[in-house]
Amino acid sequence: MKISVITAVYNNRDTVAQALDSALAQTHPDVELIVIDGGSTDGTVAVLQGYADRLAVLVSEPDRGIYDALNKGIARASGEVVGFLHSDDLFADAAVLARIGAAFSDPAVDAAYGDLLYVRKDDPSRVVRTWRSAAFSPARLARGWMPPHPTFYVRRAVYETLGGYDTRYRIAADYDCVLRLLGKGGIRAAYIPEVLVKMRVGGASNRSLKNILQKSREDYRALRSNGVGGLRALVWKNLSKLPQFWERG
């Protein structure tokens, strides 16, 4: 089974090589690496050129943000399964994609996801938060639950049927997409109860109070537009993050 891993990057020369190295170290035998660069000007493109012979696709051109870049990657993917490794992130170990591939060996599984570690930006060995997920259920989704998006792998045919990322959302298109696939789409998702990805803290959604408020507004809009929940789900979604700070790995 071919797994397509898409990395979207813009002006991130300091960590993108570590992300790609962790993907290239995977033991799964059939991995397609796709990199969509938004027209970086800080030296990122030079770093990417050093990996060009190991990438299935390398695009560097202006885009309309990360969700536009992810859609470009999905459109170019040829793997049966598609997932993302952001340029700040790392796979937890070399067998992550092998475990994901094993989950998709069941033809009834449309998506798979696992747990996530938030780590220090300057030292990914230091854990800041631990996101332990859970088995999917519609009731959990309606209470504001969602799987960690960086661990979320989906059959490419699902994106072709239900669509990718709605670029009208500036911060919460990933949440909207998950709600559409798991809620309206009714796809079957498998939970892998292991840490799959290490994510550096400092993402766009939590970078400032303005962004936090913007994300909350977009989350609420995504909940309402997908018919999953409303204000109660949004409140629970935010409160459920608090225990993540108590567990450090």
Q: Does residue 243 have a pLDDT over 70?
A: no
| Per-residue pLDDT tens over the stretch 68-90 | 999 999 999 999 999 999 999 99
Kindly list the domain boundaries of the chain, sorted by start residue: 3-245
H-helix or E-strand spanning residue 128: strand 127-131
Whether pTM > 0.75 for this model: the answer is yes
Six-digit token string for 129: 């938060």
pLDDT of residue 9: 98
pLDDT of residue 23: 98
pLDDT of residue 242: 58
User: What Å distances lie between residue 126 and 37, 130, 249, CA to CA?
Assistant: 28, 11, 9
State the CATH architecture for 3-245.
Answer: Alpha-Beta Complex (3.90)
Return the bridge partners of 32, or none.
4
Q: What is the mean pLDDT of residues 119-144?
A: 92
pLDDT of residue 231: 62
CB atoms within 10 A of CB 62: 9
Mean pLDDT (the chain) is 91
